[in-house]
Chains A and B, each alone.
Chain A
Amino acid sequence: MKAIWSSGIAPIAVCALLLSAGSARAQDNAQNFPVTTRTLKNGMRILVQPDHSIPNVAMYTFYKIGSRNERPGTTGISHFFEHMMFNGAKKYGPGELDKVMEANGGSNNAYTTRDVTVYQDWFPHSATELIFDIESDRIRDLSFDRKKIESERGVVASERRTSVDGQNEGVLDEQLWATAFIAHTYQWPVIGWMSDIEHWTIDDLKRHFAMGYSPSNATMVVVGDVTSEEVFALCEKYLEPIPSHDPPPPVATVEPEQIGERRLVVRKPAELPLVMIGYHVQQTNDPDFYALNLLQTILYHGESSRMYRRLVDKDQIALDVSPSLDPGFDPTIVVITAQPKEGVAPEKCEAAIYEELDLVKKDLVSDQEFEKARNIRLAEFYRQMRTISGRANTIGTYDVFHGDYRKLFDAVKNYNAVTKEDLQRVARKYFGPNNRTVATLVPENPETPTAQEPKSQEQAKP
């Protein structure tokens, strides 16, 4: 992320799907949130959704390039490049982009994932043309200032120390992905290994720009106090003249099927242990997406969810249990994180999680749970659509990862096709022991001697 104070919108897992009684609702919503699209002559895709409830605009530009397009030695370059996109182009030199944008009432941020790099602008309507000028300047004529590269290297190293090295979840998550993937490029962290952060060069940045930043590799979503005509006219003026070139080469490597559990341990000073479990699942546009989302809702959403009731409420062995599934172009992993209570061995949380997963493999979920999951997805849909910013991110995420923003409004049909048997099927397909990677963090404080075996300090509670 470029900045941390305006990071209201984190990369949202593609799980907010419209679900309701019938397709009438889907049509209503397609009408309530009318999207107009256009593909510019250079191949750049534009989506506009006017909304005049506040005098502001949210613009999200998705470039289909992320850490999956990287190579060993320059891991993290996509994210570093994201930072450099704020550090000077032909018209708006180093520092100018932010100064001009803020002086005109706008703000910006960006996020990078394994699959995409997304630039976000939030601004009053009065700044609309300026923002197009700024965006076109950096897509067309980004420049690289050697001094800026060095200071930004320090910024990203600090970001890594804060968000990865300084957080138990960050440390463990990084190790988990590096173990769950042995072939595919999802294996390294988005922010990059520290030694790569320290060593990439100006030529690496130039190569990355040439690879990922063709207009034809971008999808821009504009939501808010604009008209479609106004946006398309600005696109013609500022973006359409920018020539396109080849998209990034395809990521050909396919992660081979995992054929046995993998385990890893991290020992570091910590107050509490932590456990993360990753299961390989299909990419976002796979038909299983819908069944998997409903199943995850039943397992993890709210205090009535199966995992909360079991681990937090009944057994009282964890503070929380939550899943994470980011949108992905390629088969990815869903990561379950459990925070054990003090004195509880992570293995005890693991065992409870496996038992609950076995239950949904063995028996169909109840009618009540099934209906609850649909109701929750409907409410979550509205929650994501209630702000212009959330809507821009959601529309863009659907368009990029599902291949068509209209899938957002087709979801009713797709969800209604899911049966309880489908939930059982996906549970059996994905949540088996051979398909999982387990990472545990064992607290090892300076005063305690190096432990060879994880100590199992079970607490007295049942």
Chain B
Amino acid sequence: MKTLKFLAAFLLLLPFAATASAQKLQIPPHEKVVLKNGLTVLLLEKRGVPIVDVSVLVKAGAVVDPAGQEGLASITAGLLRKGTKSRTAQQFAADIDFIGGSFDADAASDYSTASAEFLTKDIAKGFDLLSDALLHPTFPQDEVDKLLAQSIDGVKASKDSASAVIFDYYQAYLYEGKGYGRPTGGDEVSLKRIKRDSILNFYETYYTPGNTILAVAGDFNAAEVKKRIEDTFGAWAAKPSPPVKWDAVGPAKGKRLLLVNKSDTTQTFFVFGNMETTVTDPDRVAIRVVNTVFGSRFTSMLNEALRVESGLTYGAFSFFRPGKVPGPFAIYSFTRNETTEKALDLALEILKKLHTDGLTAEQLASAKNYIKGQFPPSVETSAQLANLIATHEFYGLNDDEVNQLDARVDAVTPEIAKQVIAKHFPSDNLVFVLIGKRSDIATEIKKFADQQDSREVTAPGFWPGAK
């Protein structure tokens, strides 16, 4: 489902922090090995519950889906477990379920992922299943047909919930259907165009050892697991994968607004912003600090204004979703139909206030403590750690993201915060997407943008170009 993918990408935004307590939080030591076939292996031993987590990252995601076949990377990943040289989809499911394990695969915009989890005592079976899915998928036609049909209905079902799809519409409209504007899970039209040949081709092209990072974290013996990985993944034949190219899309100029008409809704869901930062942006820690004050915690400026003081909504947020190339920044909330204009006015006013007033010393100090205090539970489990070291490897980051957080957070001065606000929080160039009841709100939202577009939630796809 799209919502989950959105949340997964959200993990890229983990706050950077350390702790004020006696213990200093550090990523446990881990080892990197590159096999002869080019596979990058990361091993992190962590005692605790007897669980092993594997996070596999293939360096090609939805961004490389062919035009009109959005969802191809996601479907390819989803089919890995749906039939291999030695197991039918049903046998694979029986085997992974029998050990109480899990195997999931999907595509984000920047990369594809597979993650497996099993108990330490089942490590042999776990790696057997994981390598089987990654190295020997057969993509049986009947499973292809089933997954495509389910995915098409999945998109339709998600459109019954405005909060589940608003960011698909937003990214599509902001990026004008290019790059991060292409729905990672595809849409009702693009999924119908996907054929088994394209899936096979995607797999053969991008699922190569040199294009793959395999991170293992949890309660295991690294030397033993290294040998196990050499035995299972060492036979994976090396071949080059083409580098990924991103569409060059610049930030939006001026103001435009898309209204998605949903006739039964009693609330208007709205999001607005522009495209902003990359994962490796040198300002990333300062952006995190400023956004904590502005829109990413309960006492943020946005939530205080729209929820706590006015009761207009259950929640108001802002977030950055950085990628290899600039990802979106968004302000998001929802309010009943009659207060749509009022809530949007207020959100815009708070954004303006951020630019005019900046942050107080008190706000800055509070945000720093908050980030540092809330970070440790985000690197608590082996699943979190496997995912973290895999994405660090992909984006060219290292353990300093965690280990040097104290220093980096504390180094954000009011002056730096001011620069970051001016540079990374858009004020004049804004793209709006609203899901709401047109007959109730069409008139009052005219003032927010010169360019106004409109579509029906029942229409296929998320972007007019998909038609």
Contact = CB atoms under 8 A, between A and B. Distances in A.
B377 A379 contact: no
Interface string A81-100: 00000000000000100110
A380 B377 contact: no
Contacts of A396: none
Given A157-B336, A301-B97, A316-B149, A389 B377 contact: yes
A378 interface: yes
Given A302-B93, A302-B97, A55 B22 contact: yes
Contacts of B336: 157-158, 161
A357 B362 CA distance: 60
Interface stretch (A198-206, A263-271, A284-292, A419-427): A263-271
A156 B313 CA distance: 8
Contacts of A141: none
A378 B21 contact: no
B170 interface: no
A3 B90 contact: no
Interface in A151-165: 151-159, 161-162, 165
Contacts of B163: 162, 166
Which of A151, A161, A313, A316 has the most CB atoms of chain B within a 10 A radius of its CB? Answer: A161
Contacts of A380: 100
B373 A124 contact: yes
Contact of A382 (B49, B296, B312): B49
B105 interface: no
B458 A154 contact: no
A96 B416 CA distance: 28
A108 B315 CA distance: 15
Contacts of B297: 5, 102, 107
A5 B315 contact: yes
Contact of B157 (A271, A312, A385): A271
A455 interface: no
Contacts of A268: 264
Given A105-B20, A151-B311, A54 B377 contact: yes
Contacts of A95: 299, 304, 308
A272 B149 contact: no
Contacts of A382: 49-51, 119
B98 A339 contact: no
B309 interface: yes
Interface string B282-301: 00000000000000111100
Please tell me the size bucket of the interface on B: 35 or more
Nearest to B371: A105
B220 interface: no
B19 interface: yes
Nearest to A162: B314
Contact of B264 (A104, A162, A269): A269
Contacts of B149: 316, 341
Contacts of A152: 311
A445 B267 contact: no
Given A102-B299, A316-B146, A371-B98, A388 B162 contact: no
B71 to A, nearest CB: 16
Interface of B: 19-23, 25, 48-51, 89-90, 93-94, 96-101, 118-119, 146, 149-150, 152-154, 156-157, 159-163, 262-267, 296-299, 304, 307-315, 317, 334-336, 362, 365-366, 369-370, 372-374, 376-377, 379-382, 458
20 contacts: A3-B298, A54-B379, A98-B299, A102-B299, A103-B370, A104-B373, A105-B20, A108-B298, A122-B377, A151-B309, A158-B314, A158-B334, A158-B335, A304-B90, A313-B89, A316-B149, A341-B150, A376-B97, A386-B49, A386-B382
Given A155-B311, A371-B98, A446-B263, 11 more contacts: A102-B299, A103-B365, A150-B311, A162-B267, A166-B161, A168-B160, A269-B264, A302-B96, A375-B98, A388-B380, A445-B458
